[in-house]
């Protein structure tokens, strides 16, 4: 009798816990930029998540995402007309001008956000998401690697780890399709180098399947 009661109790707890846990996969697109330059770069995002509901109103969602991010950098360029004097001893520059080269910095991260979900509506499964995110840069590519070497920028000048705050909305349809819109504000600079001491800014739109 005791064994039957214990088995029933374990079954009830297991069913209750499984009802509170939800797992899912999602994918979508990013538009990212840096705090010092609002020019956006498109990218993709994909990964999975697990959601636990403490109550009908409060939940916690952890995600593991691969995120293509980046920014555009403005590099000053100078030009002009060069000529020599009659004795061919001195070089002169005339019509000096300055322009700007727009270069892209591609950054791929593995991100782990831990988000509090607040569901204020009883009949509509619309949640407000907010929480911290930690990311690690697994790939980095600059349009002008040669220029970076010339001015002495090395891999040690970049910050591999990124920390940010995520805010967003998530809607779950009756057919278990989730739609999420999130915005992350980085609060660690992309690099310690002066020209790239900006923060990541990422707007993410994704669609997922919850099971």
With 0-12 / 13-18 / 19 or more C-beta atoms within 10 angstroms meaning exposed / middle / buried, residue 146 is exposed
- Please tell me the predicted confidence (pLDDT) of residue 75: 55
- Please tell me the predicted confidence (pLDDT) of residue 79: 44
Residue 186 counted as domain residue = yes
- Please tell me the predicted confidence (pLDDT) of residue 11: 41
CATH number at residue 136: 2.40.160.20
Tell if the pTM clears 0.85, that is, is over it.
no
For every one of its 211 residues, what pLDDT tens digit does the chain have, with 9 covering 90 and above? 555 555 544 443 443 444 588 999 999 999 999 887 778 899 999 999 999 999 989 999 999 999 999 987 765 444 444 455 555 555 555 555 444 456 788 999 999 999 999 999 988 899 999 999 999 999 988 776 666 666 566 667 789 999 999 999 999 999 999 999 999 999 999 887 766 678 999 999 999 999 8
CA angle 44, 107, 77 (to 5 degrees): 120
**How many domains, the chain?**
1
- Please tell me the predicted confidence (pLDDT) of residue 12: 39
Residue 63 counted as domain residue = yes
Instruction: Give the HSE-up count for residue 186: Cα atoms under 13 Å, Cβ half-sphere.
Output: 28
- Please tell me the predicted confidence (pLDDT) of residue 167: 98
Residue 206 counted as domain residue = yes
SS3 letters across the chain: CHHHHHHHHHHHHHHHHHHHEEEEEEEEEEEEEECCEEEEEEEEEEEEEEEEECCCCEEEEEEEEEEEEEEEEEEEEEEEEEEECCCCCCEEEEEEEEEEEEEEEEEEEEEEEEEEEECCCCCCCEEEEEEEEEEEEEEEEECCHHHHHHCCCCHHHECCEEEEEEEEEEEECCCCEEEEEEEEEEEEECECCHHHCCEEEEEEEEEEEEC
Residue 78 counted as domain residue = no
How far is it, in rounded angstroms, from Cα 21 to Cα 24? 10
Residue 8 counted as domain residue = no
Residue 40 counted as domain residue = yes
Domain residue limits at 145: 19-73+104-210
Beta bridge mates, 83: 92
Residue 47 counted as domain residue = yes
Residue 121 counted as domain residue = yes
């Amino acid at each position: 009798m005791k064994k039957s009661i214990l088995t029933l109790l374990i079954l009830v707890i297991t069913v209750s816990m499984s009802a509170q846990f939800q797992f899912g996969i999602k994918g979508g697109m990013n538009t990212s930029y840096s705090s010092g330059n609002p020019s956006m770069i498109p990218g993709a995002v994909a990964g999975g998540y697990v959601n636990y509901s403490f109550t009908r109103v409060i939940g916690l969602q952890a995600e593991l995402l691969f995120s293509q991010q980046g920014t555009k950098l403005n590099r000053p360029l100078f030009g002009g007309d060069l000529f020599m004097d009659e004795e061919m001893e001195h070089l002169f520059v005339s019509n000096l001008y300055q322009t700007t080269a727009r270069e892209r910095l591609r950054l791929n991260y593995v991100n782990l956000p831990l988000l509090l979900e607040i569901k204020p509506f009883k009949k509509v499964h619309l949640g407000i998401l907010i929480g911290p995110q930690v990311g690690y840069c697994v790939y980095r590519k600059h349009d002008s690697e040669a220029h970076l070497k010339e001015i002495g920028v090395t891999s040690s000048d970049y910050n591999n780890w990124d920390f940010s705050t995520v805010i967003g909305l998530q809607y779950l349809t009756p057919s278990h399709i989730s739609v999420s819109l999130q915005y992350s504000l980085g609060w660690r600079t992309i690099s310690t180098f002066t020209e790239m001491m900006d923060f990541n800014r990422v707007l993410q739109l994704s669609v997922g399947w919850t099971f």
